[in-house]
Amino acid sequence: MAPFSEPETRGISDFVLNHPEIKVYLAMHSYSQLWISPWGFDYARPPHYHLQNAMALAAESASRAVHGVQYRVGRSIEILYAVSGGARDWAYDKAGVTYSYTVELRDTGRYGFLLPADQIIPTAEETFPAYLTVGQWILDHPQ
């Protein structure tokens, strides 16, 4: 299987590449409670690391303020393990989207992919303010 071999991923890549005005790329996943920024494959920090980390910390703070649930912020290679082929790295490197992240939602492993129904709404409640913070960050930090 080659990169973008499936029609869905090809559609996303074509859209992102054809819209250079895109400022943020957020890949939503579950689970682990993380905000992961580039690079996942290299210990060298990318040129925009300080901006990426600052925005992720602001988003995490807005999220945590809702229910007190903490998300770890950092690069995969620093907070998890080395990984290559991530969408966030592609969006940052190939599409030029400075603010590119993988956001791993609840939980940290107790329930894994089978999040109890009573945690779904709270997850959305804490994610929404984080996304509002991301939007405000983009408005306040034009590039």
- Tell me how crowded residue 128 is: count the other CB atoms within 10 A of its CB: 13
> What count of other Cβ atoms lies within 10 Å of the Cβ of residue 86?
19
Please say if 8 is a catalytic residue. Answer: no
Helix %, strand %, coil % of the chain (to 5) = 45, 15, 40
Q: How far apart are the C-alpha atoms of 59 and 26, rounded to whole Å?
A: 12
Given the residues 6, 60, 104, 126, the one annotated as active site? 104
Q: Which residues are catalytic?
A: 104
